[in-house]
Amino acid sequence: MATAIKASVNNATDYFDLDGLDYEKGLYAFYYDSVEKDTSGVIDESKIRVGLKSKNEIGRNLVQPKLVVNWTDGGVVASGTITAATVLENTFADGTVTCSTVLENTFADGTVTCASVLAADTVTANGLLYTAVSGAKANDTEFSIDTGDNETATDLADSIDSDTRSGTTGDLSAVSASAVVTMTTDVAGTAGNAITLVSSEGTRLAVSGSGTLTGGVDADTVTANGLLYTAVAGTKADNTQFSTDTGNDETATDLADSIDSDTRSGTLGDLSAVSASAVVTMTTDVVGTAGNAVTLVSSDGGTLAVSGSGTLTGGVSADTATVNGLLYTAVAGAKADNTQFSTDTGDDETATDLADSISKDIRVGTLNDVRAVSASAVVTVSSKVPGTGGNAITLVSSDGTTLAVSGALFTGGVNAVAFSDFDTFIAAASILISE
């Protein structure tokens, strides 16, 4: 079996490499077990057998004598470099909602003012007809006009409030004050503005509006990660709502609490939220640029102003290096294992940690195993096995600027070559083992 001798890959100044192991220079010497001479007395160099032994330890031979043609120059390992320059770890996308006089649902209402109502005058509210009668009303489809305008209003309000019929949309409640009946729908928001309110006589039974209730306002809403949050007056019923009772700061606090405590499943990952003053900041747990697809929209850009253009922003995917088919990912803080490398300090330290991960990685790569060292911000990765086969080892970066690689493949690998003659061997090998 051939023996390979060459300069150390790790420290060529102080060590030489013998069959892949480093030995300190100056401690070993070549020796010969025999020589043969031809008929003219000249040494036959092709038959000289050379070994390698320790100078200080008697009997310790690193290599038993063998012909020089069974010694090789060890070949050259293929290598490549990775240069770190402000490497990026994962950043999580976020977004903000700024609360400014947020509106909850307002229920539409309307009024009827009674003024000398006559029998057979009518009011139609929510599609239900109420008819004025003299004397006591027979049921809640009628109201009595016997006493005066105030009493007429009281009886009309009672009929509307007590009516068990089903109206066109939702239900009405009614109260009276003096000669005015005020009715309010239980249909939230602007939908209540479609509920009818008409009178047969606009003077004796004057109604507000133009044939319908008015004043219904839809609650402001925020949709974050596909989940709807609705502003409400009073205490929220659950984490699909948030209260607007006090002020903008308190509204933001309650919205943040609802988002942070919501147990529903959003479209993509999960959100955490905090508030400061009137601003809610929410952050996704989806790593990198994928988090920039998480939705953030508002029903009103004035009262609930959201950042971005319909989504969270700022998510950045971590830089990665792939060496010999093995992926290494940049992380903030200490790395969890040797599939990662830390970017916490600076480029030099990033390179040191990447080299450490590559060298200590116990995973099996595509081709020969590799080793790595760093100097300043540059990682040099080399095949552990010399030869041209190492030139096929891949070297890929996710970003050619922050992690610039020397090429897509390792280069420089050269196959070992056997020494052809004694003089060449001694000239080359003696330099390798000498201090």
pLDDT of residue 83: 98
Amino acid present at 431:
I
pLDDT of residue 90: 94
In 90-161, where do the E strands start and end?
94-99, 109-114, 122-125, 128-133, 142-144
Task: Report yes or no: 162 and 173 within 8 Å, Cβ to Cβ.
Answer: no
Residue matched to tokens 């150390």:
8
pLDDT of residue 10: 80
**Per-residue buried b or exposed e for 39-48, using 16+ beta carbons within 10 Å of the residue's own CB:** eeeeeeeeeb
* pTM given for the model: 0.71
What's the CA gap between 391 and 414, in Å, rounded? 9
Token reading at 271: 């959100």
pLDDT of residue 262: 98
Amino acid present at 374:
S
Task: Report yes or no: 383 and 390 within 8 Å, Cβ to Cβ.
Answer: yes
How open is the CA angle 79-82-88, to the nearest 5 degrees?
A: 155
* CB neighbour class for 336 (10 Å; exposed up to 12, middle 13-18, buried from 19): exposed
CA 371 to the chain's CA centroid:
32
3-state DSSP call for residue 62?
Answer: strand
- Provide CB contacts within 8 A for 33, sequence distance 6+: 49, 51, 65
pLDDT of residue 78: 93
Cβ atoms within 10 Å, residue 425:
23
Task: Report yes or no: 3 and 66 within 8 Å, Cβ to Cβ.
Answer: yes
pLDDT of residue 413: 93
pLDDT of residue 172: 98
Q: Give every residue of the chain whose pLDDT is below 50, as ranges.
A: none
Mean pLDDT of all residues in the chain?
Answer: 94
pLDDT of residue 385: 86
Bridge partners (DSSP) of residue 196 are 212
Task: Report yes or no: 406 and 80 within 8 Å, Cβ to Cβ.
Answer: yes
What's the CA gap between 208 and 345, in Å, rounded? 71
Residue matched to tokens 């008409």:
198
Token reading at 189: 């928001």
Q: What is the CA radius of gyration of the chain?
A: 44
Q: pLDDT for 65-121, tens place per residue?
A: 988 888 888 888 899 999 999 999 999 999 999 999 999 999 999 999 999 999 999
Amino acid present at 156:
L
What's the CA gap between 167 and 184, in Å, rounded? 13
> Do you know the residue count of the chain?
435
Q: pLDDT for 224-282, tens place per residue?
A: 999 999 999 999 999 999 999 889 999 999 999 999 999 999 999 999 999 999 999 99
